[in-house]
Amino acid sequence: MSIESGYPLMEIPFAHRYQCWFCGEPKDREISFPKEKSSNTLLTHPPLSIPCCNECATLIKRCAFESIFVYRYAVKKELAKKHQKTLSIGSRWTEVELQESQLEGSAFEGFKRSAWFMFKLQQARINFMGWPIYIDGKSLEVEDTQYGFAFDGTIYADLDGAINHVIDAFYLDELLFTRVLALLGKDKFAYAIRLCRLYPKLSTTTRESVFLEIVESLAIEET
């Protein structure tokens, strides 16, 4: 049980006791999913706590994820984007080609020594799929939501795809919109857009005050 959130901690096999569930690197902490209890509205499974490294814990800022597996996919995408330069080494070179390259100079020699190792390290992190989630001896049951999400006459592959589209299309503040949506639930997707369209760019302080005003106007108790 996580002291911070009160969410149950997923069971950790002995062989993975020191690993981040997202990327396999040494864990630094436990994170709560969802980050805010008000986001439980969208969840298709009970909330939980997950072992995580500091990097994976800080990659995703927004809310509105239906499951820990959708969240993990978002983490992987951001991890790949952040380390795109290193990951591209594998598409330009093979290990043998890199070692036999004619790059000269101390900087290039250092690159030849470390580049393939760093590529394999980041590749392994992206490919790492964690371990099955059990809580109190029971497998985490996730409602199947892979039937698309319809909004405004368009069917998206999933809720996350719809979120990404409307954020760009309506110039929404991503952190505000996803937080409001997580509070209201996906059945009020259009309403969440209407509430947030007036606030396209917000500072951290302003965003918090706007969110609290919305919560107050909806007469919802934020926890």
Over residues 102-129, the pLDDT tens digits come to 555 444 555 566 777 888 899 999 999 9
Statement: residue 13 has pLDDT above 60: yes
Q: Where are the beta strands (DSSP E) in 117-188?
A: 134-135, 138-139, 149-151, 154-156
What pLDDT shows up at residue 223? 43
| CA distance readout (Å), 6 to 13, 18, 86 | 21, 21, 38
The distance of Cα 112 from the centroid of its chain, to the nearest Å, equals 32
Tell me which of 4-8, 58-62, 98-102, 130-134 is least confident. 98-102
Averaged pLDDT for residues 45-74: 94
Distance, CA of 141 to CA of 40 (rounded, Å)? 15
pLDDT tens-digit map of 144-188: 555 578 888 888 888 888 999 999 999 999 999 999 999 999 999
Whether this model's pTM surpasses 0.85: no
Contacts of 174 (CB under 8 A, 6+ apart): 61, 62, 167
Backbone phi and psi for residue 120, each to the nearest 5 degrees, phi listed first: -65, -35
